[in-house]
Chain A
């Protein structure tokens, strides 16, 4: 329990960054980036989530075991969505849309 407690300033900066990223994600949605729109939106969301996890959820000062288990959550989710998507991308060529 010897972790240093982050200052209010740190939380303030993280909050400010999150709000800027929110403005960025809304702004980027109004630009026509073609199929990159979804990638930009997801990339910004991932940055936001990393900030929330590291600072608000204190992963930064946490035990390595907490890192492993939070990473496993992401890994299982990636398996679920990734492998399902792989199936639809590769085994169903007669799909409408692209």
Chain B
């Protein structure tokens, strides 16, 4: 127990900052800069999507119809819910409610895992139906559109795959932060940590909010 006590004696303020507020603002600013670069990272794919969709919109419409709209909608709800619990975790950290912080972080991890589970189910479904680009791509539904439908599925797998990688990193981050906060009696040191992890988590949600309508809902009304 003595080590825990020693850790508590550590001042939460790093020596190169004037005060806690400056430390907090620096962390926040750094995180927003990182998220801006992340937005551009995904931006390349969104840009490619925009160009190909404009050039081959019929193929995109036909290909998009093969996606599971309901699974995508459920996953959107799951991710939005995880964002709520993440926001509540940040709130609990600010109020120094350690128990609630750990509970909310745990629920967030569960929702993140549920999202990945549903996504894995969708991917295996896509695989079985021959929608994975490459030599396995058969697209038996409308073979005349197979060429650029394959481009759609390439973008679909790259975008949802990159998103899933981010979510896996997000889950690992949340678990690490939860471990840190569980080991320490108070969450004072963990407060910034929880908040920045929260920003990353919400960013993953934001990406999905755009991915869902762009990939799944292109032309479901016909």
Contact = CB atoms under 8 A, between A and B. Distances in A.
Contact of B54 (A55, A72, A88): A88
B219 A37 contact: yes
B2 to A, nearest CB: 30
Given A32-B221, A41-B217, A56 B44 contact: no
A69 B33 contact: yes
Contacts of A26: 69, 73, 217
Given A45-B209, A53-B206, A57-B202, A70 B44 contact: no
B86 interface: yes
B95 A80 contact: no
Interface residues of B, number: 56
Interface residues of A, number: 52
Contacts of B220: 29-30
A5 to B, nearest CB: 5
Interface in B110-140: none
A93 B217 CA distance: 27
B40 interface: yes
A60 to B, nearest CB: 12
Contacts of A6: 91
Given A26-B69, A41-B217, A70-B32, A8 B55 contact: no
A66 B94 contact: no
Residues of A contacting B: mostly? helix
A49 B29 contact: no
Interface string A52-84: 110111100011011001101110110011001
B213 A44 contact: yes
Contacts of B160: none
B40 A80 contact: yes
Nearest to A3: B94
B94 A5 contact: yes
Contacts of A80: 40, 43-44, 47
A22 to B, nearest CB: 5
A20 to B, nearest CB: 11
B8 interface: no
Contact of A65 (B25, B35, B222): B25
B213 A29 contact: yes
Interface of B: 20-21, 24-25, 28-29, 32-33, 35-36, 39-40, 43-44, 46-47, 50-51, 54-58, 69, 73, 76-77, 80-81, 83-84, 86-88, 90-91, 94-95, 195, 198-199, 202-203, 205-206, 209-210, 212-214, 217-222
